[in-house]
Every structure is written in structure tokens, then in C-alpha cells.
């Protein structure tokens, strides 16, 4: 394990004012998003859309890394430059999604276990040689009647730790993503309790398996009520509950937390992050972002309408807004 490389990469990914772009949708998910905006999905349209985003000028001040999918890391920019090589030339770390998706958890209807450990060491070795310097693995936790079960929490936390250990062995900073979904009518306290449980179990597994915490990033959900819950709460409540949960359940050695947007609106994702960073609290870790749709939703729509420049402008704007939120300097009037 190259501890120095891992710590340096992790620190650079959560450098001041910067966050991570999640552009790692599977081919099926990305194809569905293209079809939804009227674009015929194919390997070429997926490449063309993403390469247009990556070619945006000036976003290096807000984006430190880009998570890619297996197809994308093997593709090229319009001028023939391999995508990971192009990103690195802009001072942006290429990253890679290494799990193979969430599948049904045996004997637990409605719950999922993320797969992909088989052959992971070899895949990580290949991705490192291709230029990747960090990776991502997403676990999916659903709240409902009798859910999450202990089996769901224990199997997913064990897999996250095994993934993290293998990544570090191969020189990749692992982003650990235990996502408590917004689906359902649960309240914010239920989200808090489940998030706390999965975090505790995940760090316990990481300790058992020798994961170097200074070379890890956490990608958690914020503490939000289910999308069918009548009590939505305020942005301030979301920010406070999230910081409280993380303070109680994230080791101080972890250098950074890069939130997922998890179905929030673009502006909500920015506002919540801004409120957390504006608090008069000295966090032991950086509070940053690893957004996908919250950075790219408008950019995809405008690209589909035929305007590459407008698409890049939309992406750059959202990146700049979230960069401001990293220091608590975002204001609603700026987001026009």
C-alpha cells in the first residue's frame, strides 16, 4: 500500500473549493437519460455528451476529480485523446466506478447487496494503469417495514470495506458510498438512525480489514426525510442533522466527505452543502460534493437541444455554485 500516494490523492480530491463530478452512470442508466431528452442512445452519443462536458473551460477551479464508467474510461475525446489522459492534463483526477451493481439480497425481499468483488483486484490494477487514481462503490440501503435488516447492513458494510482494502492495495483512493435512499415515507430521524448504523458498521469493518482511513473518502446521503413524508423540514434542519450524524459517526482521520445529491433539486443540494460549511464548527474533515444530476441535469437538457456551448455554460455555473458552497459563500441570488 502506497500510503503517501493515497493520502495525497485524497487530499487533492477535497482541496479547497473543489469537489467531484459523478459521471459514472452505467450504460443503461445513461441511455435512459439520453432517451428521456430525445437523443438516440448509443456508445457514440454517450461519448459525445460526456466529452463535451469534460471539454468545458474553467471548471478545474471547482472539480478535482471525475468518476467514470468502464465504457467511458476506455473512450476518447473528439481529438482522439484518451479521456483519462485528457482529464489528467487539466489537473483533474480520473476515477472509476468498480462495483457491478446492486442485486437482490437473498432471503430479504426488497433489499439489495452490491456485487463486484470477484476480479476486483485485477480490474483495479488495470484501471490504475489506465490513469485512474480513485474509485467508487455504492451500497443501497432502503428504509421500510422491517428494513433495513441486519443482514443488509452487515453484508453491505463488509463489502464496502473489502472493496476499500483492495483499492488501496492497488493505489486507488476508495470512495465509500453507503446510500440511504430517499424512497419512502420515513421521517428525517429514521434516516438519521439508519445512516448512523450503517456508518458505524462500515467503519468497524474497515478497521478489521486494515483500511487506511487517511486515504479514504466517504460519500454519504444527507439526512433527509423520505420523498413521501409530509414533514419536509427546513434546509437548516437538514444541514444540522447531517452534521450531527457525521460528527458522531465519522472518524476524524477521514480527510473528506463528498456528499451525493440523492434526488435533491440542484439548488437544494447546493444550499444544504452551503449551510453545513457556513456553520461555526471546526470539522475534522472537509465537507464537499460528488454530484451527478445536481451538476449535470440542465447541461444534459441543453446539449440535447443542440447547444454544446450552452450545455458547458450550465455545467460550469453549477460547478461554480457548489464551489462557493464549499466555503459557505453561496447565495440564492447568485443562482440565476
Q: Are strands 102-104 and 112-114 parallel, antiparallel or unpaired?
A: antiparallel
Look up 219 and say whether it is catalytic. Answer: yes
Tell me how far apart the alpha carbons of residues 265 and 295 are, in angstroms, rounded to a whole number.
10
Place of cell 483500511: 211
d(C-alpha 215, C-alpha 89), whole Å: 23
**Distance from C-alpha of 329 to C-alpha of 317, rounded to nearest angstrom:** 15
Closest by CA to 148, choosing from 113, 117, 100, is 113
Taking alpha carbons only, the member of 283, 256, 278, 323 closest to residue 58 is 323
Q: Say how many C-beta atoms besides its own lie within 10 A of residue 161's C-beta.
A: 24
Cα separation, 134 vs 136, in Å, equals: 7
Dig out the grid coordinates for 319 from the structure.
Answer: 460547478
C-alpha to C-alpha distance for 105 and 103, rounded to whole angstroms: 6
Question: Which residue, among 91, 97, 42, 44, has the nearest Cα to 68 in the 3D structure?
Answer: 97
Active-site annotation holder among 200, 207, 219, 237:
219
User: Which residues belong to the active site?
Assistant: 219
Amino acid at each position: 500500500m502506497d500510503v503517501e500516494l493515497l493520502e495525497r490523492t485524497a487530499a487533492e480530491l477535497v482541496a479547497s473549493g473543489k469537489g467531484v463530478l459523478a459521471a459514472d452512470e452505467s450504460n443503461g442508466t445513461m441511455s435512459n437519460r439520453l432517451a428521456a431528452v430525445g437523443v438516440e442512445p448509443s456508445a457514440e452519443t454517450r461519448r459525445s455528451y460526456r466529452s463535451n462536458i469534460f471539454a468545458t473551460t474553467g471548471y478545474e477551479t471547482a472539480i478535482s476529480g471525475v468518476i467514470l464508467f468502464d465504457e467511458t474510461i476506455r473512450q476518447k475525446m473528439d481529438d482522439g485523446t484518451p479521456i483519462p489522459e485528457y482529464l489528467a492534463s487539466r489537473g483533474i483526477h480520473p476515477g472509476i466506478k468498480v462495483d457491478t451493481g446492486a442485486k437482490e439480497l437473498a432471503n430479504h425481499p426488497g433489499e439489495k447487496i452490491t456485487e463486484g468483488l470477484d476480479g476486483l483486484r485485477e480490474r483495479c490494477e488495470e484501471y490504475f494503469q489506465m490513469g485512474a487514481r480513485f474509485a467508487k462503490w455504492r451500497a443501497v440501503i432502503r428504509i421500510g417495514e422491517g428494513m433495513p435488516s441486519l443482514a443488509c447492513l452487515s453484508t453491505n458494510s463488509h463489502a464496502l470495506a473489502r472493496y476499500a482494502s483492495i483499492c488501496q492495495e492497488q493505489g486507488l483512493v476508495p470512495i465509500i458510498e453507503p446510500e440511504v435512499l430517499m424512497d419512502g415515507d420515513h421521517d428525517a430521524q429514521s434516516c438519521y438512525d439508519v445512516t448512523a448504523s450503517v456508518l458505524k458498521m462500515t467503519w468497524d469493518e474497515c478497521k478489521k480489514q486494515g483500511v487506511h482511513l487517511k486515504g479514504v473518502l466517504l460519500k454519504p446521503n444527507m439526512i433527509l426525510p423520505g420523498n413521501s413524508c409530509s414533514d419536509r423540514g427546513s434546509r437548516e434542519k437538514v444541514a444540522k442533522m447531517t452534521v450531527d450524524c457525521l460528527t458522531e459517526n465519522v472518524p476524524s482521520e477521514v480527510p473528506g466527505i463528498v456528499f451525493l445529491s440523492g434526488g435533491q433539486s440542484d439548488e437544494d443540494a447546493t444550499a444544504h452543502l452551503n449551510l453545513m460549511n457556513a456553520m461555526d464548527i471546526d470539522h475534522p474533515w472537509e465537507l464537499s460534493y460528488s454530484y451527478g444530476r445536481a451538476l449535470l441535469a440542465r447541461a444534459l437538457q441543453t446539449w440535447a437541444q443542440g447547444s454544446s456551448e450552452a450545455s458547458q455554460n450550465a455545467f460550469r455555473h453549477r460547478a461554480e455554485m457548489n464551489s462557493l458552497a464549499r466555503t459557505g459563500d453561496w447565495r440564492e441570488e447568485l443562482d440565476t
